[in-house]
Each structure stands twice: as structure tokens, then as C-alpha cells.
């Protein structure tokens, strides 16, 4: 194997591949980057068992003198390429399973891993797949995946439930204390189906997707899902089990509705959470709608002090005074995913879930459970 190509072009693809590199694995081969050098392209593969990435690099700078396949220690290889000087990098296989890397004034040899130990990873594309705009897919992930559970005792809640029904795709995530739901209309109609994709997989996928008008192909299998984006194939395992029936959790009637400037509400909650008796990351704050329609955001800690913030609704308040307590972390994270500058908080009662919606965040809602306080 011997080739040369533009260093920055190679590094760009290696950084993407790094997202599926395994650091801790019973199989040391998964710490490697599999590189298949073909006559007119290079195919890079990485996997950590949960996700796998395969990229085909075709570039005008690529000059292949000899084809071949190698398994390179990923961590060291990427750092070496990152630090190289010069525009071009040459790589060649030498005796005793060594990789020689040459660029400008550098001449480096790197011990390679055993190629035969690398598992056979399937990247099967289906004849029938779902096509979705890149920006739309990124929005779905950004507005839902953050609400998945990080606790492994209920693995099903660590995933985002994707449900397709005709032209509608609905994504739901919940950790049992909050819920995020986003529905979009697809360009074409598809057979009904439902899968659960790990939230961490979707967050890694979002880092790869760019903000353009391209489309992503989604190929579903029984136990895996493949996302095809330009020259990148991204495979994630699916979670097994039945996702909770969350539609029954979402209230339909709201006796109290308050519209806020999103930034004003968020900064008031952030300031109030600073002096909570709990740690600031998950502080409990209280919201009190007074009879004069001014909203008080408060937190109180006997050991530290008390905060009172007044927030003025941006529209006429619907409903009577209400007091409710909630996690500042949950509501701040929910507010951050809204594109709307104004949000409406819809209350059903002091100890019942409340819903946040935004005028320009069509078919998206955030549900948060209140906290009981003495």
C-alpha cells in the first residue's frame, strides 16, 4: 500500500471517523481506523459497537501507487496527521506491519494493529428509505435528544422514539421527569414504523451534519439504522423494547397561559437558581403568578439567601393566580431549544405537568413535571 494526498483533506475525514473510535473495548482492534486504499479512493471505517462510520474519500490530490488495507491505531494516527507540516502526506506499508508517514521534513513509522482482528461491519442500504432535509434532521435532534435519560436502569429512556405515520415523523424523548416532542411533515409518504435510536448516537450524528440543503437518507433495519449523508455512512444500533405511550401524558386543556420573552424568563430563572439550597445545576425555583399578572421567580436557601425576580408577561395572562415549583435545569434546557423569541407556558395545575410552546416552533412542545415543596 502506498499513496499521497492533501493532509488537510485527510485530517477532515479522520476527525469525523474519530467520533466512532472506541477507547475502552474488550476488542483492541476497535481502537483502530481501518483504511482500504483503492485505485481512485480511500475508504475509512471506525466502530465502537454502538455506532460505526464509513467514509469514501475521492479527491483530486489523491495519488495511489499501490492498493492495500491496513488497521492503524486511531488515537496516535490522528494526532500525528494533525501535527504534520506541509500540504501533502505520503503513506506506505513497510515490512513487519509498520506504517510509514512522510510529510515535509517528517518521517514517522507507526506500529499497526492486526487487520484480521477487525470485525466485519455491515453498512447495508435499503431499497426503501426515508429522505429528510439535513437542517430539519438537525433540528429534530437538537430539540429532543437532550431530554433522554442518562441513567441506564431504564435503557429504553436513553433513546429517542422515532415514529413515522404516512407523511408525519414524530420524535419523542423523555427521562420520566420531562418530555420533548417534535413532529415534522416529510416530503413523501411512508409505511408506518417505529424505532428507538440512542440519544448519544443522534448527538454524534448531529456533529457530522452540516447546515446545508442536502438530504439525509435513513435506512431502517431490525436492529440498526443507517444514515447516509454525502460520502458518510453512519450506523447506530437500535434499542430493544416498547417505548412508553407518552401521548397520554400531554395535557390538552390549560386553565392558565402566560406568554414570556424567552430570554427574560431564562435569565430570571438562571439568577434565581444561583442561591438555591440545591446545587446550581439542578436547583429548584418557584413561579408565582400574582393577582396583578406579574410573575415572581424565587428561590430560597436558609444557609445562603433568597432571590426574587419579577418577570412581566408580554401579553394578557389567561387564568387565575398559580404557584408552582420546578427544576431550573429542566426548564432552562427546554427554553434553549426554542427558535421563538417568545414562549407560552401552559399550566394545568400546581402539581400537574406544564407545557412550553413557541409561536415559530411549529409542532414542538416541551413538557416538565413540577416539584412538590413543603
Maximum alpha-carbon separation in the chain: 82
DSSP 97-158: TEEEEEETTEEEEEEPP-GGGS-----PPPSS-EEEEHHHHHHHHHHHGGGS---TTSGGGG
Rounded Cα distance, 17 and 11, in Å: 10
Q: Give the pLDDT score at 279.
A: 54
- Same fold: 131-248 with 250-368: no
Secondary structure (3-state) at 56? strand
* Strand 42-47 relative to strand 32-37, pairing: antiparallel
Distance from chain centroid for Cα 307: 34
Distance from chain centroid for Cα 330: 17
What's 2-117's CATH class? alpha beta
Q: Give the pLDDT score at 35.
A: 98
Phi, psi dihedral angles at 117 (to 5 degrees):
-85, -10
- C-alpha pair distances (Å), 59 with each of 9, 104, 374: 8, 20, 65
Tens digit of each residue's pLDDT, the chain (374 residues): 999 999 999 999 999 999 999 877 778 999 999 999 999 999 999 999 899 999 999 999 999 999 999 999 999 999 999 999 999 999 999 988 999 999 999 999 999 999 999 999 999 999 999 999 999 999 999 999 999 999 888 999 999 999 999 999 999 999 999 999 999 999 999 999 999 999 999 999 999 998 888 999 999 998 999 999 999 999 999 999 999 999 989 999 999 999 999 999 999 999 998 876 565 457 899 999 999 999 999 988 877 888 999 999 999 999 999 999 999 999 999 999 999 999 999 999 999 999 999 999 989 999 999 998 76
DSSP 252-319: S--SEEEEEEHHHHHHHHHHHHTT-SS-GGG-EEEEEE-TTSPEEEEEEETTTEEEEEEE--SSPPBS
Rounded Cα distance, 131 and 144, in Å: 19
- C-alpha pair distances (Å), 277 with each of 168, 284, 287, 304: 44, 8, 16, 7
Fold of 250-368: Proliferating Cell Nuclear Antigen (3.70.10)
Q: Give the pLDDT score at 373.
A: 77
Rounded Cα distance, 141 and 132, in Å: 13
Phi, psi dihedral angles at 50 (to 5 degrees):
-80, -45
Angle, alpha carbons 66-103-233 (nearest 5°): 60
Rounded Cα distance, 222 and 220, in Å: 7
C-alpha cell at 97: 506491519
Rounded Cα distance, 298 and 285, in Å: 6
- C-alpha pair distances (Å), 23 with each of 29, 121, 301: 11, 18, 42
Q: Give the pLDDT score at 374.
A: 65
* 55 within 8 A of 44, measured Cβ to Cβ: yes
Phi, psi dihedral angles at 121 (to 5 degrees):
-105, 125
CB within 8 Å of 81: residues ≥ 6 apart: 7, 10, 11, 14, 89, 101
Rounded Cα distance, 271 and 297, in Å: 9
Q: pTM for the full model?
A: 0.93
Domain ranges in the chain are 2-117, 131-248, 250-368
Rounded Cα distance, 228 and 222, in Å: 17
Secondary structure (3-state) at 201? helix
Give me the torsion for CA of 41, 6, 106, 23, rounded to 10°: -60
CATH architecture for residues 131-248 = Roll (3.10)
Amino acid at each position: 500500500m502506498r499513496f499521497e494526498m492533501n493532509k488537510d483533506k485527510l485530517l477532515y475525514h479522520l476527525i469525523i471517523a474519530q467520533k466512532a473510535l472506541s477507547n475502552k473495548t474488550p476488542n483492541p482492534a476497535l481502537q483502530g481506523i481501518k483504511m482500504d486504499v483503492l485505485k481512485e479512493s480511500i475508504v475509512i471505517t471506525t466502530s465502537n459497537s454502538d455506532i460505526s462510520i464509513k467514509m469514501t474519500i475521492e479527491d483530486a490530490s489523491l495519488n495511489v501507487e499501490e492498493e492495500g488495507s491496513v488497521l492503524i491505531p486511531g488515537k496516535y494516527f490522528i494526532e500525528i496527521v494533525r501535527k504534520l507540516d506541509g500540504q501533502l502526506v505520503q503513506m506506505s506499508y513497510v515490512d513487519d506491519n509498520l506504517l510509514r508517514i512522510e510529510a515535509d521534513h517528517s518521517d514517522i513509522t507507526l506500529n499497526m494493529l492486526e487487520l484480521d482482528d477487525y470485525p466485519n461491519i455491515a453498512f447495508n442500504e435499503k431499497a426503501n428509505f426515508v429522505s429528510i432535509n439535513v437542517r430539519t434532521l438537525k433540528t429534530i435532534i437538537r430539540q429532543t435528544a437532550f431530554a433522554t435519560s442518562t441513567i441506564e436502569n431504564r435503557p429504553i429512556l436513553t433513546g429517542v422514539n422515532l415514529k413515522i405515520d404516512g407523511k408525519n415523523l414524530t420524535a419523542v424523548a423523555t427521562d420520566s421527569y420531562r418530555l420533548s416532542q417534535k413532529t415534522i411533515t416529510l416530503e413523501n409518504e411512508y409505511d408506518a414504523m417505529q424505532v428507538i435510536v440512542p440519544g448519544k448516537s443522534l448527538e454524534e450524528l448531529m456533529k457530522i451534519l452540516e447546515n446545508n440543503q442536502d438530504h439525509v437518507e435513513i435506512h431502517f433495519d431490525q436492529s440498526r439504522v443507517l444514515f447516509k449523508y454525502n460520502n458518510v455512512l453512519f450506523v447506530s444500533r437500535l434499542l430493544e423494547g416498547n417505548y412508553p405511550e407518552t401521548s397520554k401524558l400531554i395535557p390538552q386543556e390549560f386553565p392558565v397561559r402566560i406568554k414570556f420573552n424567552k430570554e427574560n424568563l431564562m435569565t430570571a430563572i438562571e439568577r434565581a437558581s444561583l442561591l438555591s439550597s440545591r446545587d446550581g445545576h439542578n436547583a429548584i425555583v418557584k413561579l408565582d403568578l400574582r393577582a396583578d399578572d406579574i410573575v415572581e421567580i424565587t428561590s430560597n436557601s436558609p444557609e445562603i439567601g433568597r432571590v426574587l425576580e419579577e418577570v412581566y408577561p408580554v401579553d394578557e395572562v389567561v387564568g387565575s393566580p398559580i404557584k408552582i415549583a420546578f427544576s431550573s435545569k429542566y426548564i432552562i434546557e427546554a427554553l434553549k431549544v426554542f427558535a421563538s423569541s417568545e414562549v407560552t407556558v401552559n399550566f394545568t395545575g400546581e402539581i400537574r405537568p406544564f407545557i412550553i410552546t413557541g409561536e415559530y416552533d411549529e409542532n414542538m412542545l416541551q413538557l416538565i413535571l413540577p416539584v412538590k415543596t413543603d
